[in-house]
Structure 1
Amino acid sequence: MKLFKTKEEKQRIKEEEAKIQQEEEKRQQELELKFDLLVKNITDTPLDDLAQSTDEVILKNTERLFFKVDFLVNWQENRTRTERVGYSGLSSNIKITKNISYRVGNIKPMVNTITEQKIIRQGKIYITNKRLIMASSQNPGEISLSSIVNIIPYTDGIEFQRSRGKNIIMTGFNGLPVMIIIQRLISEGWKVPKNNKNTKSLDSSLIADEIRKLAELKEQGFLTQEEFDDQKQKLLNK
């Protein structure tokens, strides 16, 4: 049984570890670039061009979909519970007979109030010009954009402070894009055009330009063939 590695084996292990680290760094850089492109897109693109219809959730006639988080995230709210930890107060025992005594005084239970974050529901997020919708088969929920007074993004979630109802924290994703699109929808006050109930269609030249951009991303390794085909088909269906 060999107890010690040879110099060549140590060098090989070192090279393999360096290769793994380089691949991880490259993957992280690609993810960061994708995220930067996403943020730029939802920041610079006119809302008319971001608006779309969807059959994944039921929208009102005055609603269009602008953004979605296409994986499960957590919807959390503060919940308060009380916990009895003992008794307090002055008291004394008065002995009446050998085996009988009488307690006098004021004894109250000691209670701690504990506030903690609790997951209320899990689902995908859909953002329209009216609501943030969490689609869940068992416990769906929504937040009216008009009730939001402040948004705090985190690298692993987002917090909504509301004028009515409990504040809500959602976790499991970077909250910056969600904050940007909601702030734009609130500040720009986007509405469905009166002369067209359907979302504005992209003309052929714009579609071709978008497909070229997707092809460049695929060639650079930022999109897989499957992702490219999916995005291309969505553009062609508009």
Structure 2
Amino acid sequence: MNNFLSDEDIVHIGDTAIRTYTDSIRRPYSPRQLALVYEFINALGVSYANLNHAGAVDGFTQKLLKGFMVDFFTDKLTLSAAQSRCQRVISTLPISREVANEAYFYVLNKAAHNFLKDGFISDDEQRKIDEYVNSLTLPMNDLPVQLRGSEIEKISQASILKNFERGILPPKDINVPILLGKTEYVLWAFNGVTLYEEKIEREWVGRNRGMSFRICKGVYYRTGGSKGHAVEHSSMQPLGTGTLYVTNKNLVFHSMMKAVKIPYKKIIGMTPYSDGVEIHRDGANVKRMTIQGFDPWFVMNLMSMIAE
């Protein structure tokens, strides 16, 4: 009887070995680690695609890319040196641009988190981020869904806020389905948010005391009892889901069913939540509004600048 390992067995063993090795290595990473995995893959004698079917090789490759880019943000490598090492990895163990970007965005998100710990980004930190993003041509205007609302968005927003404070506005060539004033510019757009408006319902209530007498079929008369009084019930009713445009003059909610413009000069207060903001507007009998589905960090910082 012949004993042998099938290709499926070899792939399973190789997958496990690569994952175990990936978990064991620590920064700083060296060319020897890359060469070791490359030699191991060649020695297995199975196709690269089969071995990487569950992403084991991609996981190892991403870990190296993350390590080299972390070394850039911690000033252990220049960006050109970090990119050179990343390119060597990718040319040895090919991965898609999308998978590589996952690693680059991961590092950028970590860097943004550290930079924002003190509440703002310094000019030097902003230059470092801009150099990183521009050199890697990362699509900051089309972030993956899982990164929306992340620290990466905040660093882009922080840059816009800093420019706004200096009187620098973004170009007015953005196509948006709302009418802008002559000196109005869109600073940011939050997609998939829901607008709620306060709805007040009134009903007449009162405790009944006394006796009822039947006058005729279906007609009763109750004597005595306390006086009735009106009771109000307040609730927030959804008006639709759409996009919140933040301009230099207004908050504009736009959806297929509803469009609402809220001028900043009419806002007398805002209550931020983890996933939205409640807006208090000036005027008689004005109802409260809540916009849910976004991190209000950018809006609150913008309003603080306008209020100064």
Normalised by the shorter chain, which TM-score bucket?
0.5 to 0.7
Partner of 1:168: 289
Q: CA deviation at 1:76?
A: 1.0
Counterpart amino acid of residue 185 in structure 2: R
Q: Does 1:78 align with 2:224?
A: no
Q: Is the 8 A contact 1:90 1:107 kept in 2?
A: yes
Change over 3 Å in CA distance of 1:91–1:65 after alignment to 2: same
Q: Is the 8 A contact 2:212 2:222 kept in 1?
A: yes
Q: Does 1:66 align with 2:184?
A: no
Q: Is the 8 A contact 2:169 2:185 kept in 1?
A: no
Q: Is the 8 A contact 2:271 2:277 kept in 1?
A: yes
Q: Structure 1: state its 5+ residue gaps.
A: 1-11, 188-238
Q: Is the 8 A contact 2:252 2:262 kept in 1?
A: yes
- Which of the pair is proportionally richer in strand? 1
Distance 1:132 1:157 in 2: 13
Partner of 1:139: 258
Counterpart amino acid of residue 248 in structure 2: N
Distance 2:243 2:195 in 1: 10
The alignment's TM-score, normalised by the length of structure 1, stands at 0.55
Change over 3 Å in CA distance of 1:180–1:146 after alignment to 2: same
Q: CA deviation at 1:111?
A: 6.4
1:73-222 pair list within 5 angstroms? 73-82=193-202, 88-93=207-212, 103-106=222-225, 113-164=232-283, 165-187=286-308
Change over 3 Å in CA distance of 1:58–1:88 after alignment to 2: same
The alignment's TM-score, normalised by the length of structure 2, stands at 0.44
Counterpart amino acid of residue 296 in structure 2: G
Change over 3 Å in CA distance of 1:186–1:67 after alignment to 2: farther
Q: CA deviation at 1:52?
A: 3.0
Q: Is the 8 A contact 2:108 2:152 kept in 1?
A: no
- Pick which of 57-66 and 42-51 moved more: 42-51
Distance 2:304 2:182 in 1: 22
Distance 2:189 2:181 in 1: 17
Identity of aligned residues (%): 21
> What is the CA deviation profile of residues 129-170 of structure 1, one whole-angstrom value per residue up to 9, with x for unaligned ones?
221111222211110110111222222001222222222211
User: Which structure has the larger Rg over C-alpha atoms?
Assistant: 2
The correspondence for 1:43, drawn from 158, 161, 165, is 161
Q: CA deviation at 1:59?
A: 0.9
Distance 2:222 2:302 in 1: 66
Distance 2:305 2:160 in 1: 9
Q: Relative contact order (alpha carbons < 8 A, sep ≥ 6): 1 or 2 greater? A: 1
> What is the CA deviation profile of residues 88-136 of structure 1, one whole-angstrom value per residue up to 9, with x for unaligned ones?
233125799xxx9974324666865321111123221112222111122
- Which of the pair is proportionally richer in helix? 2
SS in structure 2 of the partner of residue 126 of structure 1: strand
Change over 3 Å in CA distance of 1:78–1:128 after alignment to 2: same
SS in structure 2 of the partner of residue 105 of structure 1: coil
Q: Structure 2: state its 5+ residue gaps.
A: 1-15, 24-55, 64-101, 111-146
Q: Is the 8 A contact 1:42 1:177 kept in 2?
A: no
